[in-house]
Amino acid sequence: MAKITLDNLAHSYLAQPHEEADFALKALNHDWEDGAAYALLGASGCGKSTLLNIISGLLRPSQGRILFDGRDVTDAPTAERNIAQVFQFPVVYDTMTVRDNLAFPLRNRGRDEAYVMERVNEIARMIGMEEMLNRKARGLTADAKQKISLGRGMVRKDVNALLFDEPLTVIDPHMKWELRTQLKKLHHDFGHTMIYVTHDQTEALTFADKVVVMYDGRVVQIGTPEELFARPAHTFVGYFIGSPGMNVIPARVEGNRAYVEGTELPLGQGYGRLEGKVEIGVRPEFVRLSQSGGLPVKVRRVEDVGRHKIVRAEFFGHEINIIAGEDERIAAEATRVTFDPAHVNVYANDWRVNGEAA
C-alpha cells in the first residue's frame, strides 16, 4: 500500500496544447492518503478515466509527476506500479475457467497453489460465483464476466492501490448494492488505498471516506460527504450533490446581508463587498415555506417521495426547490420562503467565499 502524490500533474491529449481548454486534466496537486477509500465523482467527460489511467500508468501525463511513497513512478510501467485496476467493461480470458481467471494475478506473481486456491475460494464467495468456478468464461453474461473482472482486481492483497473505473455499469441494480458492500468490506479488512470512479453521487457518498469531485477537467473539491453537503466549494458541487441539488440564486452581498431582487436577507457570516458574479446557495433542506415574511414564491408542484416532500416552486422566474416534512401541509397560501441563515453559502464567480464571524 502506498501514499500516491500528484505533483503539478496535468494532461492534454493534444501534442502541443496552447491553452487551458486543451487540457483534459487541468493542473492538480494532491496526496491520496495511504489506506483511504476515495470516490472520484463527476459527469461523463470531466476527466475521471484520464486521471485514473495516469495513476495506473496506462497514460503518461503531459506535465508533472506521480510519486508512490515519495518514489517517482512517472515513467514506470503499469506492472512495476503494483496496482490493480478494474474497468467499466469486463476484461476476462474467455477460454479459461472462472477459477483460472481469478487465480491469474496470483499465479502470475508466483504464489503457491495452496494459497492461490484459498484466496480464489474467498473471492468467489465475495462475488457470489462459487457455483461457477469450473465454467469457462466464454458464454457467461456480461454481468457475470464483470464480476470476474472485479474478483481479479480484488484477489491480490499486496497491491499499492485498487482502482475501479465505473465497475458496476453493466451489473444489475440489486447486485450493485451487494458488490459495493463487498468492496467496502474489502477495504475495511485490508485497508488498501482505493479510488472508485463513478458519476453516481449515491455510489460515491456510500462508498468513500473522501469524495473528489471533478468538473470540466478540474478537481473542484475534496471532502467528506458531510463537507460536500454543508459547504460546497463550487456551485457545481452544490448542484451535482443532493437531490434535488442546491438552489443557486443571483444576489448582491454586502457585509452580513444579501439582497435578492431588492429584498434583504440575513447571512450567518460577513463577507465585505463582493465583486463579479455573486450568488447565494441554499440547499432545499434549509428553505422553509411561510405565509408571511421572506421572499415571494409560486408553488408549482409537490412531489411526495416518501420520507419527505419536494416542493417545486417559482422564484423570480427561476425554479426553487424546497424540502418539506412528510406530514407538512403545503398550504395554497404558502407564498413566501425563508432561508436558514446559518446554511446559506456565498459564491463569487462560482467559488465559495469564506465568511467571517458577523
Q: Which does 140 bind (CB under 5 to 8 A by kind): Mg ion, ligand ADP, none?
A: none
Helix-helix angle 98-108:113-126, to 10 degrees: 130
Q: Which is nearer to Mg ion, 16 or 44 (by Cβ)?
A: 44
CB of 228 to ligand ADP, least distance (A): 18
Q: Which is nearer to Mg ion, 14 or 43 (by Cβ)?
A: 43
Residue 49 is a binding residue for Mg ion (CB under 5 A): yes
Residue 24 is a binding residue for ligand ADP (CB under 6 A): yes
Pairing of strands 37-41, 210-215: parallel
CB of 31 to ligand ADP, least distance (A): 21
β partners of residue 30: 6
Q: Which does 61 bind (CB under 5 to 8 A by kind): Mg ion, ligand ADP, none?
A: none
Q: Which does 24 bind (CB under 5 to 8 A by kind): Mg ion, ligand ADP, none?
A: ligand ADP
Residue 167 is a binding residue for ligand ADP (CB under 6 A): no
Q: Which does 45 bind (CB under 5 to 8 A by kind): ligand ADP, Mg ion, none?
A: ligand ADP
**Residue 66 has which C-alpha cell?**
506521480
Q: Which is nearer to ligand ADP, 25 or 287 (by Cβ)?
A: 25
CB of 49 to Mg ion, least distance (A): 3
Any residues with CB less than 8 A from the CB of 1 and at least 6 apart, and which? 34, 35, 159, 160, 161, 191, 192, 193
Determine the Cα–Cα distance for residues 94 and 149; give it in Å rounded to an integer.
12
Binding mask 226-255 for Mg ion (x = CB under 5 A): ------------------------------
Determine the Cα–Cα distance for residues 204 and 37; give it in Å rounded to an integer.
10
Q: Which of residues 79-118 bind ligand ADP (CB under 6 A)?
A: none
Residue 50 is a binding residue for Mg ion (CB under 5 A): no
CB of 53 to ligand ADP, least distance (A): 8
Determine the Cα–Cα distance for residues 55 and 248; give it in Å rounded to an integer.
35
CB of 24 to ligand ADP, least distance (A): 3
Torsion of CA 184, 189, 195, 198, to 10 degrees: -10
DSSP assignment, residue 208?
Answer: -
Place of cell 467528506: 224
Residue 193 is a binding residue for Mg ion (CB under 5 A): no
Give the containing element (helix H, strand E) for 187. helix 173-190
Residue 16 is a binding residue for ligand ADP (CB under 6 A): no
Give the containing element (helix H, strand E) for 198. strand 193-198
Residue 13 is a binding residue for ligand ADP (CB under 6 A): yes
**Residue 283 has which C-alpha cell?**
440547499
Q: Which is nearer to ligand ADP, 30 or 336 (by Cβ)?
A: 30
Given a contact cutoff of 8 angstroms between Cβ atoms, the answer to whether 319 and 303 are in contact is: no
Q: Which does 119 bind (CB under 5 to 8 A by kind): Mg ion, ligand ADP, none?
A: none
- Positive or negative, the CA dihedral 96, 98, 103, 108 is positive
- Among the listed ranges 33-41, 46-54, 217-225, 282-290, the one in contact with Mg ion (CB under 5 A) is 46-54
Binding mask 35-74 for ligand ADP (x = CB under 6 A): -------x-xxxxxxx------------------------
Determine the Cα–Cα distance for residues 162 and 88; give it in Å rounded to an integer.
14
Q: Which is nearer to Mg ion, 5 or 49 (by Cβ)?
A: 49
CB of 240 to ligand ADP, least distance (A): 13
# chain residues binding ligand ADP, by CB under 6 A: 10
Is the omega angle on the peptide bond into residue 105 within 30 degrees of 0, that is, cis?
Answer: no
Q: Of 175, 181, 166, 98, nearest to 143 (Cα)?
A: 175
Residue 198 is a binding residue for Mg ion (CB under 5 A): no
Torsion of CA 32, 33, 35, 40, to 10 degrees: -30
Q: Of 192, 187, 223, nearest to 205 (Cα)?
A: 223
Binding site for ligand ADP (CB under 6 A): 13, 24, 42, 44-50
Binding site for Mg ion (CB under 5 A): 49
